[in-house]
Structure 1
Amino acid sequence: MEDIKQYWFVIRELTGREIKRKYARSYLGILWSVLSPLLYMLVMTLVFSTMFKRKIQNFPLYYLSGYLFYNMFCQVSQSVMTVLVDNRNLLLRVKVPKNVFVLSRCYTALVNFGFSLLAFFPLLFLSGVKPSITMLLFPIDIILCMLFGLGVGYMLSIVYVFFADVKYLYTVFLTMLMYLSAIFYPIEQVPTAMQVVIYNNPVYDFMLFARDCMVYNTFPSADIWARIIIWGIASYLLGYLIFLRRENEVMQHI
């Protein structure tokens, strides 16, 4: 228990450092976590709401719910990818489990996601969406999406130690992923072959779950339940096992 308390203290300190560094020299600071999704939503609504107004019910919420989960996945996987290299000095000097640094990045992404919800929930109820029992499923979606991003981040963190260029390739991949996640368009609007690709996109499953339980007040189908559980748990276990197996080799390299 003493070790857990110490590790939790380290995670909180590292999280505070990450948040301060992210918003350093910014007058609005953490408020940007609330304003950023709203500004993106405003732009996308102005651009696409007319184009898809007969296809998407409540477009602003449709977009925002998708964007929040896409952004959380990006933050978790990208920040965990560089965690070992960014903290090489501390890893060599301090006897702390490497997983503590990984969890601090994950916790930071969760805190930022929480601030983003300060924009999502008021908009949800201002748009006429009534509280529903299905909303109680929302935390499950958040946890499984974070596990999925964490698993991907674990694998990328090992690759990044040996191949730094993966950071730039992954940025390109995330841009492609955004357009393949149906964040701002209805999936029915794209060709059948593209629909198959989108349906097999894990990030889209987490978005779809959130839209069902939060925006449309419906229970997600059994298929969506199975997919997000499998993607979340399988990705985490695979990533963590790879991380543990290559741990010593990574320390010798950095």
Structure 2
Amino acid sequence: MFDFFSESTSSAMRAINGNAALIRKIYVPRYLFPLSKSIFSLINLAFTLIILFVIMMVSNIDWSWTVLLFPIPIIYLFVFAVGFGLLLSAYAVFFKDLNHLYGVVTTAWMYLTPIIYPIDIIPDKYRAIIEANPMYYYISLFRDIVLNGNFGDLNTHLICMGVSLLSLALGLFVFQKKQNDFILYL
């Protein structure tokens, strides 16, 4: 899930600068470039999930009916990644170093997200830092549905949905405001 987010936002961020020649020559709705990169990353995630489910079958992991609900956290995360990617792609046109800086940010972000370690090992006084991380909720919801066999907490669903919609609204707003100035910086 984190790899999908990282790939989606990184490629969406480079989408406008990478298609500068096309943008200068003909009119194409500019939001299609970062959106197409996010959709491509979603397709990559689908192939990764096929491998995950094969490994789960080979490992004799107990299945629950909730595994059929695995698209829910993926949809939440996709909307979040599209919004974040639109925001990044709008600012990457003006700040070229954002591409290099974002790689460092995603690496630090990954270590601040309990992916390779359980949240239980984090002391209570630092747990608020982890809980302020939106990726924590997406990954924990996916784990609850696929691995733990439950629907997840309603609060987690609401947080994921809220953060996703806020990200999309902010990304669309900033992208819409900045897109007319792209041609001046490409």
The normalised TM-score by structure 1 is 0.70
**What is the CA-CA distance between 1:172 and the residue it aligns to?**
0.9
Separation in structure 1 between the aligned mates of residue 87 and residue 145 of structure 2, nearest angstrom: 31
Query: Match of 2:103?
Result: 171
- Bigger shift: 118-127 or 176-185? 118-127
Q: Secondary structure at the match of 1:216?
A: coil
**What is the CA-CA distance between 1:166 and the residue it aligns to?**
1.3
Query: Match of 2:57?
Result: 125
Kept in 1: contact 2:34–2:89 (CA 8 A): no
**What is the CA-CA distance between 1:204 and the residue it aligns to?**
1.1
Query: Match of 1:198?
Result: 130
Give the share of equivalent positions with the same residue, in percent. 31
**What is the CA-CA distance between 1:175 and the residue it aligns to?**
0.8
1:108 aligns with 2:40: yes
Query: Any idea what the Cα deviations from partners look like across 1:117-150, whole Å, max 9, x if unmatched?
Result: 1210011222333332212321111111011111
Separation in structure 1 between the aligned mates of residue 49 and residue 23 of structure 2, nearest angstrom: 33
- Bigger shift: 190-199 or 122-131? 122-131
**What is the CA-CA distance between 1:112 and the residue it aligns to?**
1.0
Mapping of residues 3-42 of structure 1, within 5 Å: none
Structure 2: give runs of 5+ residues left out of the alignment: none
CA RMSD of aligned residues (A): 1.3
Query: Match of 2:25?
Result: 93
**What is the CA-CA distance between 1:215 and the residue it aligns to?**
0.4
Query: Match of 1:213?
Result: 145
Q: Which letter maps to 1:199? A: E
For these two proteins, the number of residue pairs brought into alignment is 186
Query: Any idea what the Cα deviations from partners look like across 1:161-220, whole Å, max 9, x if unmatched?
Result: 111111121111111111111111111112223221111211111110111010010120
Per chain length, whose mean CA-contact separation is higher, i.e. which structure has more relative contact order (CA < 8 Å, sep 6+)?
2
Separation in structure 1 between the aligned mates of residue 14 and residue 23 of structure 2, nearest angstrom: 13
**What is the CA-CA distance between 1:84 and the residue it aligns to?**
0.6
